[in-house]
Amino acid sequence: MYRNRDEAIKTLQEAKPQLLAFLQQVIIDNKFNYETFGKEIEKYLVSKIIEILTTKGIIKNDSDYHLAPNKNHFPELTLYTDPNLAIELKSGNHFKKTLGRWGTCKNSENDMGTLNSWGDKLEKFGGDNIYYFFIEYGFNDKQEKIIDVKFEPFYKFLFVTDGILKYREKDGNLRPKDFDKPSLINSFPEFQSYIEGTEIYRSKRIVKKHFQYLPLKDMEEIYKELEIILAEAKKLATVKKTDSTDL
């Protein structure tokens, strides 16, 4: 097992020029469809990542890493360092075709993990051990090129708006920041603060949105249940306040 996680991260950060050149050559050597390019290019990227880490001696054999069987498993690449390093691959086109016409877009609206899923990921890997590779590319009817390859902690790619993380309402899937905007999240503790506020905000919206459509009988039933929950919460808050005062 290779123990130095920080050296693995540094190696991958310094590999950006090499990865850019490699991926651009992949485009030249192969024929891609703009609709599927984002998914197809990721397999080339992960193979190059493994090659670079192997050349540097960070990966010595197959037992030093694990590849997910498909995109539904997290993470796509695990490096068995100390602690383990989780690497996800994302990609986004700077162009979008709408009603048959090409135009530029600010971001690619990738799924960045649901609010509910992040607890398990963070418990398994820790907030400072999850990194994203993000390939920005430009595909339209006139060009096919790699614009940038970024490798940063996952929270650096998240969209912050009005003090909360941007998410898709139907499933709580977090959304990426605009391509050209700097990250508003500079540390994992900052991310924790944002996600806590976002979970509260979304929960309140869901309650308000659906409660109004319930029959009166169900409203009253839920109201009684909430009174019990509120009483328990107040009791717990009082105990915590007393304990902190005693200290």
Decide if pLDDT at 243 tops 80.
no
Give the pLDDT confidence score for residue 156 in this predicted structure.
97
Decide if pLDDT at 90 tops 70.
yes
Domain 5-202 classified CATH 3.40.600? yes
Per-residue pLDDT tens over the stretch 137-188:
999 988 999 999 999 999 999 999 999 999 998 899 999 999 999 999 999 9
- Rounded CA Rg of the chain: 22
Torsion of the alpha carbons at 73, 20, 137 and 144, rounded to the nearest 10: -120
- Bridge partners of residue 176, in order along the sequence: 158
Name the 3-class secondary structure at 240: helix
Percent of the chain at pLDDT exceeding 70: 96
What are the backbone dihedrals phi and psi of residue 77, each rounded to the nearest 5 degrees, phi first?
Answer: -135, 125
What are the backbone dihedrals phi and psi of residue 82, each rounded to the nearest 5 degrees, phi first?
Answer: -130, 100
Q: How far apart are CA 25 and CA 33, in angstroms?
A: 16
Torsion of the alpha carbons at 198, 201, 204 and 210, rounded to the nearest 10: -80
Closest CA to 85 of 4, 174, 185: 4
Q: 182 and 176 in contact (C-beta within 8 Å)?
A: no
25-39, 73-87, 163-177, 179-193: lowest mean pLDDT where? 25-39
Give the pLDDT confidence score for residue 244 in this predicted structure.
65
pTM (predicted TM-score): 0.89
Give the pLDDT confidence score for residue 3 in this predicted structure.
61
Q: Which residues contact 178 (CB under 8 A, 6 or more apart)?
A: 106, 107, 159
The mean pLDDT value for 20-47 works out to 91
Q: How would residue 246 be classed by pLDDT, with cut points 50, 70 and 90?
A: low
Q: How far is CA 24 from the centre of its chain?
A: 24
Q: How far apart are CA 78 and CA 20, in angstroms?
A: 22
Q: 11 and 134 in contact (C-beta within 8 Å)?
A: no
Q: 115 and 167 in contact (C-beta within 8 Å)?
A: yes
Sign of CA dihedral 98, 100, 102, 108: positive
Give the pLDDT confidence score for residue 8 in this predicted structure.
95
Token duo for residue 185: 């999240």
Name the 3-class secondary structure at 97: strand
The mean pLDDT value for 120-141 works out to 95
